[in-house]
Amino acid sequence: MRESRLMLVQYVTAAAAVVLVAIHLLLQGVLVPYGTAISFGTVLSAYRSVISIVFLELLLVVVLVHGFNGVRIILHELRQTASWSRWVDAGTVIAIVASVGYGTRTILLAVLMGVSS
């Protein structure tokens, strides 16, 4: 992928992250009292709301793509050998897939499974 396209992804995810993270922080203590926001019941009800589930998944993808692409850029500036460059690019994709996968797993389990003790 051209670097300009990757940078466009970086800028779009940046703008989206500013909005989504701001909403996330507002809901974790400003619009909803902090203690209530992190209580088991409130979190569970969030995973029962479609809007909330979509919001959380979007936040997950946007923040992790932006973050790991940023680290990719930093690592490319650190060393410039051919093998390092290949590993950085591959590592970025693996890191994004793994972390988004783990977060999505949390969301899916919370949405689909019943409460255990």
DSSP 113: S
Task: Give yes or no for residue 63 binding other proteins (CB under 8 A).
Answer: yes
Q: What whole-number distance in Å separates Cα of residue 76 and Cα of residue 83?
A: 11
Give me the DSSP letters along 4-32: HHHHHHHHHHHHHHHHHHHHHHIIIIISS
Q: How far is the CB of 87 from other proteins (least distance, A)?
A: 13
Least distance (Å) between residue 117 CB and other proteins: 6
Rule CB under 8 A: say whether 78 interacts with other proteins: yes
Around 46, how many Cα atoms within 13 Å sit in the side-chain half-sphere? 20
Question: Which of 9, 14, 27, 53 is the binder for other proteins (CB under 8 A)?
Answer: 14
Contact residues for other proteins, defined by CB under 8 A: 2-4, 7-8, 11, 14-15, 17-18, 21-22, 25, 29-30, 33-35, 38, 40, 43-44, 47, 60, 63-64, 67-68, 70-71, 73-74, 76-78, 80, 85, 99, 102-103, 105-106, 109-110, 112-117
